[in-house]
Amino acid sequence: MSKRAIIIGGVGIAAMAAMFLFLLEPAPQTVLRKAQRKLASEKTMRLDVDAALALPPQDLGGAIVPSATSVDIVMRVDVDRTDPLKQASVSLFDFTQGTGGSERKLTGETRRKDGRHYLKLEDTGDLEEDVASRLKGKWVASERSFVEFIAPPDERSLAERPLDAAGLAVLAQAFANVDIFTVTGKKPVEKLGGAKARRYVVEVNMESVSALLLKLRETRTGTPITSEDVLAVTADIVRWGKPVGEVWIDKRTGKFLKIGLISAVDAGESLGAVGGTVVFSRYGEPVVVDAPAAEDIEKALGPIFSKRLSLAGDRGTTASETTTAAPETPPAPGAAVQQADSDGDGFSDGQENFYGSDAWNPDTDGDGWSDGLEFEKGMNPIGPGTLFGFGL
């Protein structure tokens, strides 16, 4: 065989091999869907989160950080979902808030084990001194998630039932059966953390996100989704724009290695931006969570305790404008899920029970401000000061 024939034959074989490999390469959308299903069924993992939020201080998230012009979040979270009803986790967090050229930080650790939540703050930023002195450097605990302190449930949430194992399974199945991402481009294979990763340019399907939120609501309430539910969720979703970014998926395991997204946010008269990166690792490795010796947060804070972290605004309205007289005392206090307002203070009986105020008294702490008005303004309806003076 001549040298020319050998060369031509080699080129032909190489071309055929390249075509064969091309045909074997799975469709990007299929790769993403499989990775999403693997994520839904994964029991243990680590998440490294680095996110940033830049918004006008009076807008989105204003109830939590009303004076912030930006919030940077760095978290490392080890998650164990082996027991769906008693999920375990360890989270190290670092929040930095920008406020007119200065920065405030809040750092610490949270743990979750056997349905109990633990918190230790290392850097308390500008928390009120009486609060900071009681929390800094020590473990406190609660039966409820500390997220609820930042964003307390509304009346509807109070009436919703907690997710059981069956409900969690339904949501996991729903997550596995929708396409959260749509592939809009493909980039060369990249090595990430020692693994070869397929890399795709994507945009988030906000319709799928909306559908999952609605499924969560349906599962929690036990009632079918209404057109009003769809409109409400859609209105919230639209504000977040359409996040775009990239995903990295391990070629060997088919699991997510990294997701990076950014989106413009509709902030009324102006636009903000939110973006972040999540790195996934330690799939299948055991998560060790030690329950520390901790003091109940309600006991640790004593009379300044409340069930919400917030920064209060000025009361702005006089007590005489909103305080109403209490009607005749009902035969029994409102239950935690009750929507009635027995004392007519603008604070439902369910909320009164949740926050510890008196469902029969429109001004529980007797300071001249109705419980409903104090809550609206971020003040503590059962004592002096803010609901928790959280100065992030």
Last residue of a domain, one of 239, 260, 281: 281
Q: What is the DSSP string of 136-194?
A: BTSEEEESS-THHHHS---HHHHHSPPP-HHHHHHHHHHHHTS-SEEEEEEEEEEEETT
**Domain for residue 17, yes or no?**
no
**Domain for residue 6, yes or no?**
no
Query: Could you tell me the strand order of the sheet in which 195-204 lies?
Result: 181-192, 195-204, 244-250, 256-267, 270-281, 44-54, 70-80, 88-99, 102-113, 116-123, 139-142, 295-296
Given this model, what pLDDT does residue 309 score? 36
Cβ count within 10 A of residue 279: 18
Residues 6+ away with beta carbon under 8 Å from 223: none
Same domain, 255 and 353: no
Q: For 156, list phi and psi in degrees, rounded to 5.
A: -65, -40
Same domain, 268 and 326: no
One-letter identity of residue 339: Q
One-letter identity of residue 71: V
Given this model, what pLDDT does residue 1 score? 53
- Grouping H, G, I as helix, E, B as strand and the rest as coil, residue 74 is strand
Given this model, what pLDDT does residue 304 score? 58
Same domain, 200 and 339: no
Given this model, what pLDDT does residue 46 score? 96
Is this prediction's pTM over 0.75?
Answer: no
**Domain for residue 180, yes or no?**
yes
- Grouping H, G, I as helix, E, B as strand and the rest as coil, residue 287 is coil
CATH number at residue 41: 2.50.20
**Domain for residue 175, yes or no?**
yes
Same domain, 230 and 351: no
Same domain, 253 and 192: yes
Same domain, 133 and 32: yes
Segments in the chain forming alpha helices (H): 3-24, 28-41, 129-135, 147-150, 155-159, 165-176, 206-221, 227-239, 297-301, 319-322, 349-355, 371-376
**Domain for residue 7, yes or no?**
no
Q: Which residues pair with 52 in a beta bridge?
A: 72, 275
The long-range contacts involving 144-150, CB below 8 angstroms and separated by at least 24 positions, are: 144/117, 144/307, 145/112, 145/117, 146/110, 146/117, 146/119, 146/309, 148/307, 149/307, 149/308, 149/309, 149/388, 150/64, 150/308, 150/309, 150/310, 150/390
Same domain, 273 and 324: no
Same domain, 274 and 222: yes
Given this model, what pLDDT does residue 54 score? 77
**pLDDT tens by residue, the chain, 392 residues:** 565 555 655 556 666 555 554 456 789 999 999 999 999 889 999 999 999 887 654 444 444 445 566 788 899 999 998 887 788 999 999 988 776 666 778 899 999 999 899 999 998 776 677 778 888 899 999 887 776 665 566 666 667 777 777 888 888 888 888 899 999 999 999 999 889 999 999 999 988 888 888 888 888 877 787 777 777 777 777 777 889 999 999 999 999 999 999 988 766 666 678 899 999 999 999 999 999 999 988 788 776 554 333 323 333 333 333 434 433 434 333 333 346 777 888 877 766 766 667 778 888 877 777 888 777 665 667 765 444 332 22
Same domain, 275 and 343: no
**Domain for residue 2, yes or no?**
no
Same domain, 247 and 361: no
**Domain for residue 297, yes or no?**
no
C-alpha pair distances (Å), 13 with each of 1, 8, 16, 26, 327: 16, 9, 5, 22, 90
One-letter identity of residue 233: V
Same domain, 261 and 362: no
**Domain for residue 308, yes or no?**
no
Say how many CA atoms lie within 13 Å of 246 toward its Cβ.
13
Domain that holds residue 331: 315-376
Same domain, 90 and 153: yes
d(CA 148, CA 168): 19
Query: Based on the structure, what is the number of domains in the chain?
Result: 2
